């Protein structure tokens, strides 16, 4: 059944759904690895390391979907202002140990230049922003890095009203993701100094669309004891397929119009855990290089999902601990000592007969961990004007009413 690809994709068929503009020209899947972007290898390693952590925390039967590029980007952006052990942990976990911050910044600038070129029938929008509290003044170099290396916008937001601040940030994210990501930011702290934002929006049309006339309700096997009825799309014809007997998987690549494709990895029955345990970027490359066109009947669920996650504990497990602690060193951002107080991510995916729409947003909320003392001169006070070299009191007085003439 698997050989002919005429069965229904069973439990967790979408283990690896990879939308990668730089990975392959789908007309020539056997492409040179020299084409890889400088960040592709470490970012893809991070993607699979993060998957394994998220998978361990996800209840059986629950979906996992996220943007590895989005999360890598927002962490790289904050690393531009990190120093010492805080920076070392970020770079180690991201896989950038062989690079310096300047190289990473330049690589992201190049990456955004690549993704910034629109294609007919395909939309890919990737960008960033720093929402900065009114009165908080990040270092100019950090703001320049955000703007120049990460295509970031600078938003002035008043966090003293957390509800309005959250609404303003959520409106920005919704606008950038075609209203697909809503209400990501919740329960903002009034002490928030800055929120770093990444967004990714993708919309692609299948190179060979499914005919909605063939879509019908069929069974999807969540596990051995659970079945659900879902709309199944069907298409018979030439497909890019690879049967990997050694790794107990069947791989299907569905090209979009433009330079992106969806890769679906279907483990053999009862082999999901084994595949999850060893899958890596090397397998993706092997499958890309081994894919070939075969005549088959393809059946794929039509669906829409939404998944959100708090990433603090996951990132700490991956070695990024200092950034969340009192004593974090973000002195490249501000003279005010900051730490990351919350890391959030939300992603949505819709697959239909016409194509695919996906969006994700990531945020890092940063608050002072050593708040400066607050002194409000809001009652009568004494005032002295002193000559410092002699200690002479030049003027003195009491101000009872600052408005009195």
Give residue 1's pLDDT. 38
Look at the alpha carbons of 203, 206, 210, 211 in this order and tell me if their dihedral is positive or negative.
positive
| Arithmetic mean of pLDDT over the chain | 84
Which tens digits make up the pLDDT trace of 129-169? 999 999 899 999 999 999 999 999 999 999 999 999 999 99
φ, ψ of residue 389 in degrees (nearest 5): -70, -30
Residues in the chain: 405
Say whether pTM exceeds 0.75.
yes
**Are 208 and 237 contacting, i.e. CB atoms less than 8 angstroms apart?**
yes
What span, in angstroms and rounded, lies between the C-alpha atoms of 241 and 82? 44
Give residue 226's pLDDT. 84
Give residue 400's pLDDT. 75
- Are domains 34-205+306-368 and 206-303 of this chain identical in fold? no
- Our CA angle for 163, 164, 170, nearest 5°, is 90
> For the domain 206-303, what is the CATH superfamily, name and number?
Alpha-1-antitrypsin, domain 1 (2.30.39.10)
What span, in angstroms and rounded, lies between the C-alpha atoms of 323 and 63? 28
What span, in angstroms and rounded, lies between the C-alpha atoms of 61 and 224? 11
- For residue 285, the cross-strand partners are none
Which tens digits make up the pLDDT trace of 36-76? 578 888 998 999 899 899 988 888 778 888 899 999 999 99
- Our CA angle for 177, 178, 181, nearest 5°, is 50
Q: How far is CA 35 from the centre of its chain?
A: 23
Report how far apart, in Å, the C-alpha atoms of 296 and of each of 108, 196, 240 are: 40, 46, 9
In SS3 terms, 293-357 reads as EEEEEEEEECEEEEEEEECHHHHHHCCCCHHHCCCCCCCCCCCCCEEEEEEEEEEEEEECCCEEE
Which tens digits make up the pLDDT trace of 353-386? 999 999 999 999 999 987 556 666 667 756 655 6
Of 261, 252, 265, nearest to 293 by C-alpha is: 252
Give residue 374's pLDDT. 62
Of 52, 70, 65, nearest to 306 by C-alpha is: 65
Q: Where are the domains of the chain?
A: 34-205+306-368, 206-303
Give residue 392's pLDDT. 58
Written out in words, the top-level CATH class of the domain with range 34-205+306-368 is alpha beta
| 334-343 average pLDDT score | 95
Which tens digits make up the pLDDT trace of 293-334? 999 889 889 888 898 999 999 999 999 999 999 999 999 999
Give residue 40's pLDDT. 86
Which tens digits make up the pLDDT trace of 214-263? 999 988 888 888 888 889 999 999 999 999 999 888 888 888 888 888 88
- Position 22 pLDDT exceeds 70: no
**Percentage of the chain with pLDDT > 90?**
50
């Amino acid at each position: 059944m698997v050989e002919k690809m005429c069965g229904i994709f069973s439990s967790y068929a979408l283990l690896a759904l990879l939308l990668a503009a730089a990975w392959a020209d789908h007309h020539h899947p056997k492409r040179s690895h020299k084409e890889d972007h400088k960040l592709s290898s470490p970012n893809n390693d991070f993607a699979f390391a993060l998957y394994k952590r998220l998978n361990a925390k996800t209840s059986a039967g629950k979906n996992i979907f996220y943007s590895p590029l989005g999360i890598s980007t927002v962490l790289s952006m904050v690393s531009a202002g990190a120093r010492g052990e805080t920076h070392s942990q970020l770079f180690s976990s991201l896989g950038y140990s062989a690079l310096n911050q300047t190289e990473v910044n330049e690589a992201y600038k190049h990456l955004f230049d690549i993704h910034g070129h629109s294609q007919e029938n395909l939309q890919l929008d990737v960008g960033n922003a720093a929402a900065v509290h009114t009165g908080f003044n990040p270092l100019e170099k950090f703001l320049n890095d955000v703007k120049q290396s990460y295509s970031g916008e600078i938003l002035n937001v008043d966090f003293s009203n957390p509800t309005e601040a959250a609404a303003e940030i959520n409106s920005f994210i919704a606008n950038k993701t075609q209203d697909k990501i809503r209400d990501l930011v919740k329960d903002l702290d009034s002490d928030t100094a800055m929120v770093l934002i990444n967004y990714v929006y993708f919309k692609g049309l299948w190179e060979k669309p499914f005919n909605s006339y063939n879509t019908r309700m069929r069974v999807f096997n969540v596990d051995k004891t659970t079945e659900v009825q879902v709309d199944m799309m069907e298409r018979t014809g030439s497909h890019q397929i690879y049967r990997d007997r050694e790794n107990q998987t069947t791989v299907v690549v569905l090209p979009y119009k433009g330079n992106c494709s969806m890769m679906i990895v279907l483990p053999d029955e009862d082999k999901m855990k084994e595949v999850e345990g060893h899958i890596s970027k090397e397998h993706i490359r092997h499958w890309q290089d081994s894919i070939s066109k075969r005549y088959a009947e393809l059946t794929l669920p039509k669906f829409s999902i939404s998944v959100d996650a708090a990433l603090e504990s996951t990132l700490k497990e991956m070695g990024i601990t200092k950034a969340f602690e009192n004593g974090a060193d973000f002195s490249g951002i501000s003279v005010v000592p900051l730490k990351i107080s919350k890391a959030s991510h939300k992603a949505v995916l819709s697959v239909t007969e016409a194509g695919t729409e996906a969006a994700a947003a990531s945020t890092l909320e940063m608050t002072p961990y050593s708040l400066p003392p607050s002194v409000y001169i809001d009652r009568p006070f004494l005032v002295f004007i002193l000559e410092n070299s002699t200690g002479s009191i030049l003027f003195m007085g009491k101000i009872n009413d600052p408005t009195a003439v």
